[in-house]
Amino acid sequence: MPRTIFMNDSLVPEHEAKVSVFDHGLLYGDGVFEGLRSYSGKVFRLEAHIDRLYDSARAICLAIPLSKQAMAKAVNDTLAANQLADGYVRLVVTRGAGGLGLDPNKTSHPQVIVIADTISLYPREFYEQGLRIVTAATQRTHSAALSPRIKSLNYLNNIMAKLEGLQAGCVEALMLNHKGEVAECTGDNVFVVRSGRLLTPPPDAGILEGITRNAVMELAGAAGIDCREQTLVRHDLYTADECFLTGTAAEVIPVVEIDGRKIGLGVPGPITQRLKDDFHALVRR
């Protein structure tokens, strides 16, 4: 079914939603984006997502031509125009069109694009039985080269790792940083459970601080589960009692095997299940 897209300042039919071939978002991946979820007609943590979008834009000197309030309205208007109560929103801001060459000062008119659609990242059985993942040889981009806190349009690093996972027969892949420490998966944050304690890599491991990640950490605290950020290596994952991933599209999904090693009993664990249920209850509230 054709969708209605928000472009810059108005809603347009999908076939009219176009950007220039000279847009630096296309030519160089010069821009930022966010992925959001709506549940029962309300966007989950909309303000946090928009704050992160504007922080990413500020970090690359990209002036977004809409206020935060106007951006929030554009997201909600796009969902309404597509009659989506439970949906996924991709919010994109490009540098705009310019000449060939890297100079961002030669661009004009940054493009604001809001796309709303449905999404099903993983089949239901993966949530019930858990994922198998592998470690990618492709390292997470060094944070001194590009801050992982910038959610930019250039995702080639993640895509190369994703390809490794797919070629190994897995839908996700674990990425390590330049020190060999666990960073995150290609599109999701990583958690493990060890002796009843919930652990996840810290920001300086080279991760994007996910909105869902933060929500799960809050839910763990409310449930009385000791949750902390801690540097992890693959040995910590191989020997964990439980493992799961979090992300806007993925929500909370268990991992039962990493690099051929069974995690715990090889089935989704009780803390993973508790937090998955608590997260579903949270978004439905």
Assigned token pair, 252: 């909370």
Residue type, 152: S
249 Cβ neighbours under 8 A, 6+ residues apart: 35, 37, 88, 119, 121, 187
179 is catalytic: no
152 Cβ neighbours under 8 A, 6+ residues apart: 29, 30, 31, 32, 33, 56, 60, 146
253 Cβ neighbours under 8 A, 6+ residues apart: 122, 126, 127, 130, 131, 188, 244, 245, 246, 276
Coil, helix or strand for 250?
A: coil
Beta bridge partners of 91: 34, 114
Q: How much helix, strand and coil, in percent to the nearest 5, is found in the chain?
A: 30, 30, 40
Q: Catalytic one among 151, 162, 262, 276?
A: 151
Cβ pair 277, 222 in contact under 8 A: no
CA-to-CA distance for 150 and 65, rounded, in angstroms? 18
CA-to-CA distance for 62 and 153, rounded, in angstroms? 13
Q: Calculate helix-pair angle for 68-81, 46-59, nearest 10 degrees.
A: 120
Please provide residue 249's backbone torsions phi and psi, each rounded to the nearest 5 degrees: -80, -40
Q: Active-site positions?
A: 151
